Amino acid sequence: METIITDYNYWIYILLMMIGLYAMLSQNNLVKKIIGMSIFQTAIIVFYVSIGAKKDATIPIIEHGHGHGAASQAISALQYVNPLPHVLMLTAIVVAVSTLGVALAIILGIHRQYGTLEEDEILEQI
């Protein structure tokens, strides 16, 4: 029980990921499959973003101009959230958006070709 409460971010991402995976693999409608794919990718983004967070930490911008002398310039990493996973996820968001774009374009083509987006109806026509 305690691990569920303290590591709730992991449980949320696993739940989201399973919803996405279920939709990708079991839905008959191609648009629903794509929605599942997006949820799956978002779950991983949630996972990365949550591991950068810390309690009582602030945004990772070093404050200049407060106080003088060497002591005030010392940086304690504990005071700042970890920016690296967030920056990585900017790239992953770009990748997710472009994958979504390509998938939607392909779906448009499929609809033009078969006149339907239900997988079983398409397979019948093939």
Partner 1 sequence: MIYSEQLPILLMIFPLFAAFAISVTGVFHTRYCYPVAVCALIGSLYTSVGVLFEVLEKGVIHYRLGGWPPPFGIEYVIDYLNGLVLVVVSFVSLGAVIFSKESVKQELPDKIPQFYTLFVLLVTGLLGMTVTGDAFNLYVLLEISALATYALIAMGKGRAMFSSFIYVIMGTLGACFYLLGVGHLYIMTGSLNMGDLYTLMPDLYASHAILVAFLLILVGIWIKMAFFPLHGWLPNAYTYAPTATSCLIAPLMTKVSVYIMIRIMFSTFSPAFVFNTFAAANVIVWMAVAAIIGGSILALAQTDFKKMLTYLIVAEVGYMVGGIWLANRHGITGAILHIVNDALMTLCLFLVVGIIVYKTKGHQFNNMQGLYKKMPITMAAFTIGALSMIGVPPTAGFFSKWYLILGAIDSGQWSFMAALLFSSLVNAVLFFRVIEIGYFEPFADHHGHGHHDGAAIAIDEAPLSMLAPLVVVALSLIILGVYAGYIVTNVIQFAVPAGI
Write out the residues near partner 1 by the rule CB under 8 A: 21, 24, 30, 33, 37, 40-41, 44, 47-48, 51, 85, 88, 91-92, 95, 98-99, 102-103, 105-107, 109-110, 113-114, 122, 126
- Give the nearest distance from C-beta 63 to partner 1 in angstroms: 22
Q: How far apart are CA 81 and CA 55, in angstroms?
A: 9
Burial of 20 (0-12, 13-18, 19+ CB in 10 A): buried
- Give the nearest distance from C-beta 57 to partner 1 in angstroms: 16
- Give the nearest distance from C-beta 64 to partner 1 in angstroms: 21
Q: Are 54 and 78 in contact (CB under 8 A)?
A: yes
Number of H helices, E strands in the chain: 6, 0
By C-beta, is 26 or 74 nearer to partner 1? 26
3-class SS of residue 118: strand
- Give the nearest distance from C-beta 107 to partner 1 in angstroms: 7
By C-beta, is 72 or 113 nearer to partner 1? 113
